[in-house]
Each structure stands twice: as structure tokens, then as C-alpha cells.
Structure 1
């Protein structure tokens, strides 16, 4: 892309510089301007929209989830249930705990939960539950929402750049095809007389 732009500037007054060369260079310049100016705007808009939606979701989670005390009945390390020792060595220190707890409505619930807390059978530990008393994950934090929003913005900006580059390449292919068609037509016109003395007379 930059080579085409530099070439346009160096050879702009050269009589050998064809109209198609200028079109290619202007196309590359336009694509570069769009990538530098438009893509960051798209990324910022995507990040802003994602941030607002994620913050709203985080607030809903904070309002609908509660911490309660659960009683551990049995505990099993996650690594013991993994059939691949090499992969399990890279897993976080988590435990599967069969526990029971009282939900917000006072009803007793029992299920297997995953926790990083070092608990033993018969010990109490804190878990997060939803309004129905079902075990769930902790609410999303504002920092996590901001991180996800930033990633969404980067993805949107990268997607915009990719779409622009794909459009540029597609247009370049059309220009090259048109150039080859012109060459074929020109060769069909002068090819039979190529090398004949006085063929232009």
C-alpha cells in the first residue's frame, strides 16, 4: 500500500505512469486514510456501546445475585478428575464441592459447586446464588466490564481494517483484470504485425 503511494508521488510527472497506476495509488491512499481515521472511530464506538451494555449487565447481576453460606459435604480437587496430567497442571486450583445451602426463600438447595476456596467436608464457605437460590458465578465487576469493552473495541477496529483491506484487494483485482483485458485487446490488434518491417506504414 505504501509502495503504491510513494510510487505515485515519485512518478506523478513521468509519461510512463499510466492512468491505472494512478488509480491504484489513489486507492491505496484512500484505504490507508480510512484505516487510520475511520477504524479507530469504529473501534471507539464499539467499545462505548459494549461498555454501556456490560455495565448494565453487571449492575443487573449485582442486584440479582447474593452471597450465602454453604455447608460442604464432600470435596474433590479438579486435577483428580482430569485425565490429562499435563493439562491439569495448568488448571487453576479449583475444587468440586458437593454442598447444601439455604436460598433467599429459605428452601434448602444441594448441588456440586466449583470453588477456589480450600474447604474441607463439614466446613462452611461462601457461594453466590441467583434469586431462585441456584448456585452461580460472582457478579461481573466494573473492571472486568471495561476490559471486555476494550477487547470489543479492538475487535471492531480490527474488523473494520480487515473489511477495508478486503475491499481494496477486491477493487485492485477488478482493476488488474481490466488492465489485462486492455492488454489482450491491444495485443490482438498489433500482434499479427509484430516484427514486420514497415507494418506501421
Structure 2
């Protein structure tokens, strides 16, 4: 991008090469695309992600319910994500065998994570289930969905800028290769004495 700074100066510089000006224009075009396209792409991705995630929030609020559960016995140890409701970062949860009644009225019995630091037989706790009583994770909340959408938008904007910069570098590299190739051709045309007077005598 340093070529942009010298763009105006190169307009009247007698030492300016055509490739110098071309590199500067490529850099300027890349900068403009980054400044204009990257925010637009980021905003579009954010909007799409926001819409999809907020729809998920609404769907989960309708399909997930908290039901009271009763501890039958504590199993001890930690669950390694095999259960649907196990979410990374949740502390103070104990693996237990419990009984609960689904929102549709059917009784259930199984191994779940209880929000209890120490579980004893008969202890009660709230459990998230779907409409059929199967344990599920806590519903996604609106604020978390918004955060995920913003992160996705920022990531898309940065990725767009990175792709544009990569294309700029490739274009400049091709220009430099062509310049060196032309120099080699010019040196070859100058002959073995490389244009020095009397070098062949």
C-alpha cells in the first residue's frame, strides 16, 4: 500500500515507470474495495446471521421447556458432552439419575446433569427438555445470538479484506515478474558487453 502515497508524486516524475504507476493504481483500487466492499459484506453476513439466529431463538423458546426433575441417585464424575444438555462452560453441575415428567405428561427416567453442587436422593431441580421430554440444552438467548451475528459479520469483513489484499499481492507479484523478464530481455539485447563502450576490444 506504500505505492498509494507516491501516486500523486509519480505523475510528474521522469523516473517513473509504467509498472510503478500500475502498482499504485492496483493498490488504490484494492484499498477502495476494502473500504467499500468489506463493510458491506460484513453487514450482509451480520444481517443474515442475525435473522437466522433470532429465528433459532424463537424456535427454541417454543420447543424447549423447563420441567421439575427429582434426583434418584448421584452418579458422580462429569459428563463429556454426550448428553444433549451438556454445554461447555457450565460449572457446578452434577451427573445424576433422575425422574421427570415431559410437557406432554409422559414420565421419564435417565441420566442428566443437575444444576446442583451436591445431589442427594429426592432433591429437585429444573431440567430443560423438548416437548417429548428428552433432555436438551438451555435455549439460545437473544443477546448471545446477537453477539454471534456480530462476530460473524466482523469475520466476514476481515476475510473480504484479506482476500482483496491477497489478490493485490498476486497482481503486484505478476507485474514485478514481468518487469524482471523485460529487464533480462533488455540485457540480452545489449549483448555480452552489457552496453559498455570498448568492452569487447
TM-score (norm 2): 0.85
Match of 1:109 in 2: 108
Structure 1 residue 181: Cα displacement? 1.3
Structure 1 residue 197: Cα displacement? 1.9
Structure 1 residue 21: Cα displacement? 0.5
- Offset from partner CA, 1:48-74 (integer Å, 9 cap, x none): 010001111111111111110111123
Gaps of 5+ in 2: 81-88
CA distance in 1, matches of 2:8, 2:128: 64
Q: Answer whether contact 2:114 2:125 (CA < 8 A) is retained.
A: no
Match of 1:187 in 2: 187
Cα RMSD (Å): 2.2
Match of 1:175 in 2: 175
TM-score (norm 1): 0.85
- Offset from partner CA, 1:92-129 (integer Å, 9 cap, x none): 33322221211123222222222444352221100110
Larger helix proportion of the pair: 1
Aligned residues: 189
Written as runs of structure 1 = structure 2, the 5 A alignment for 1:75-86 is 75=74, 76=76, 78=78
Structure 1 residue 44: Cα displacement? 0.6
Match of 1:146 in 2: 146
CA distance in 2, matches of 1:129, 1:146: 24
Match of 1:85 in 2: none
